[in-house]
Amino acid sequence: DTAVSQTPKYLVTQMGNDKSIKCEQNLGHDTMYWYKQDSKKFLKIMFSYNNKELIINETVPNRFSPKSPDKAHLNLHINSLELGDSAVYFCASSSRRGPADPPMYTQYFGPGTRLTVL
Amino acid sequence: QKEVEQNSGPLSVPEGAIASLNCTYSDRVSQSFFWYRQYSGKSPELIMSIYSNGDKEDGRFTAQLNKASQYVSLLIRDSQPSDSATYLCAVTTTGNQFYFGTGTSLTVIP
């Protein structure tokens, strides 16, 4: 069973287009994330979202917007795509494990979407 | 973004040796620490988590945490060619925000 899934796996598009990437998790986790991984392998958090709060990394351009139709889905919309948006985008989800303090979280990643902007 | 630093490598070790991967973090209130393994073209896979000072062992992997020095390490004993990957260190502070280092590329030479 796939825990965190993303579609599409590959996305090739022209500069200026608008595109979406979908993410679904069946783990019952309460928080979902979008990360961008560039060619140097740096994994940068873009957004985290649960049913209470959206946390946005302030360095993310407002051309990027997350949309969550329900707790199990967090889609990423990108407007006016630019060459520098080419990267691998990972969706992830996490949940708190038990009542321990400090809290313990477990995070799992989707397979990634390789976006190429031409 | 919280700073998490790793030696980018590449780190090469012979098969059967111990591989030592290091990570430092800047935020003193960091609470949880993780090591992920990422094979080329694949997604990060959680291999170890550690929350308290000291050592935590899981098979051939040992995570070591020293909060006073803001340092977390991963030791891989009896390294195998299948351990060749990029290893990512991650920390969380309050809440469930994860911050990743730039990763260390490990090659185990048969």
Please give the residue that has the higher pLDDT: either B27 or B21: B21
- Looking at residue A50, what is its pLDDT? 82
SS3 B81: helix
Question: How are beta strands B98-100 and B85-92 bridged, if at all?
Answer: antiparallel
Residue B48 has pLDDT above 70, yes or no: yes
Residue B54 has pLDDT above 90, yes or no: yes
Q: What is the pLDDT of residues A14-28, one digit of tens each?
A: 999 999 999 999 998
Mean per-residue pLDDT, A93-112: 82
Interface touch B97/A55, C-beta < 8 Å:
yes
Mean per-residue pLDDT, B50-71: 93
Interface touch B103/A43, C-beta < 8 Å:
yes
For residues A61 and A47, the answer to whether their CB atoms sit within 8 Å is: no
Model confidence at B2, in pLDDT bands (50, 70, 90)?
A: low
Please give the residue that has the higher pLDDT: either A70 or B28: A70
Mean per-residue pLDDT, B45-64: 94
Interface touch B43/A111, C-beta < 8 Å:
yes
For residues A73 and A89, the answer to whether their CB atoms sit within 8 Å is: no
Phi, psi at B81, each rounded to 5°:
-55, -30
Residues of A in contact with B51 (CB under 8 A): 100, 102, 104
Q: For chains A and B, count residue pairs whose Cβ atoms are closer than 8 Å.
A: 64
SS3 A60: coil
**Best mutation target, A25, A36, A40, A105, to test chain B (most B CBs within 10 A):** A105
Q: Give the closest-approach CA distance of B73 to chain A in angstroms.
A: 19
